[in-house]
Structure 1
């Protein structure tokens, strides 16, 4: 708690003063340019890795940066409603110009989709949430075949998951409409914690390429 209090004081006396004019402009509203869908992992800080300022990003974070597939409101289950609402609000109200799906290395959520039921049954809400990655798990198993290399499985799962969540975004009618009119961009990012490198998904090549 002491660390948090010290951080609050430092923010008010240093960071806030540095960006005081910006905060004054933001006091009556926000106009973020990007919806950033990332993992809740404490090592992933969207504003830090993108060097963004307050007001730039509308951020949604959850375990394994999952995007639930589109459902009509009355059909939605409670675990998916919050993320769906954030996506709807960002696109239809805030009118963001870009959507980023950002996964990362050593993702505990992605690793957890392979845990046995006896482990997942102890965290039932998490188990229910991770059921949304069923297609990711199946695709990785198919691509790996007989290979059982842990690092390859980890890397492949994390990157396949990003691509799958982009597909889920394109089940939202209001996103598809804007995407087809080129009014919104959808970007897949893979962040490597230990190197600081960010890889961007190239849909034409079906591969992630280092941002440079």
Structure 2
């Protein structure tokens, strides 16, 4: 905890002072342009990899960057509530579903119930993406290639969550109007690369500086 306390003091002394005007502006309102749905993994830092300032991203994080399909319910639904608030109240212009390499949640999709017995809530949560395993098994060119299975699982999982977003009536409406864009990203931790899903090509391709307009 000492590291965290020292970090707060350093933030107040250096970073806050450097961006004081921005923080004062954000003190009573926020106008993020993008809803970022990412994994809870400690190695994924949305603001760092997108080089964004406070106030730009409305961030939702959970195990394996999952989006449960829309449904009306009286249960406590954290991810669904955050999506609802971002789109209907904050009126974000973009939604990014960002998966990443070496994702433990995605790896657990291939585990048995017995292997997950000590983490029952994680097992239950991953049921939202239970179809991913079957789709990956059909796409694998080499069933023994664990590396291929890993990145394929992470990418298919991203696509499933993008599809689930369109089960939200208010998201589908704005998406079809062209006032809301949905992106699927695959972040590679060890190289810093981010791959974006191309609807035209039907595959993930690296986001390169040359493509930035």
1:182 and 2:202 aligned: no
- The residue that corresponds to 2:20 in the other structure is 20
- The residue that corresponds to 2:34 in the other structure is 34
1:98 and 2:84 aligned: no
- The residue that corresponds to 2:211 in the other structure is none
- The residue that corresponds to 1:158 in the other structure is 154
Extract unaligned runs of 5+ from structure 2: 209-213
Distance 2:53 2:84 in 1: 23
- The residue that corresponds to 1:196 in the other structure is 192
Of stretches 113-122 and 175-184 in structure 1, the one that deviates more from structure 2 is 113-122
Distance 2:114 2:132 in 1: 21
1:89 and 2:77 aligned: no
Distance 1:197 1:188 in 2: 14
- The residue that corresponds to 2:70 in the other structure is 70
Tell me the TM-score normalised to structure 2 length.
0.95
SS in 1 for 2:115: helix
Distance 1:134 1:140 in 2: 11
- The residue that corresponds to 2:165 in the other structure is 169
Query: 1:7-27, CA deviations, whole angstroms, 9 ceiling, x for partnerless residues?
Result: 000100000011000000001
Tell me the TM-score normalised to structure 1 length.
0.96
- The residue that corresponds to 1:132 in the other structure is 128
SS in 2 for 1:126: helix
Aligned residue among 116, 127, 131 for 1:120: 116
Distance 1:159 1:189 in 2: 8
Of stretches 157-166 and 113-122 in structure 1, the one that deviates more from structure 2 is 113-122
Distance 1:191 1:145 in 2: 22
Distance 1:73 1:87 in 2: 15
Extract unaligned runs of 5+ from structure 1: none
Distance 2:161 2:200 in 1: 17
- The residue that corresponds to 1:211 in the other structure is 207
SS in 1 for 2:205: strand
CA positional deviation for 1:73: 2.8
- RMSD between aligned alpha carbons? 1.0
CA positional deviation for 1:146: 5.7
Query: 1:92-129, CA deviations, whole angstroms, 9 ceiling, x for partnerless residues?
Result: 00000000000000000000111121121111100100
**Contact in 1 for aligned 2:137/2:143 (Cα 8 Å):** no
- The residue that corresponds to 1:109 in the other structure is 105
Query: 1:110-160, CA deviations, whole angstroms, 9 ceiling, x for partnerless residues?
Result: 001111211211111001001111111110011126622000000100001
Runs of 4+ in 1 over 2 A off after TM superposition: none
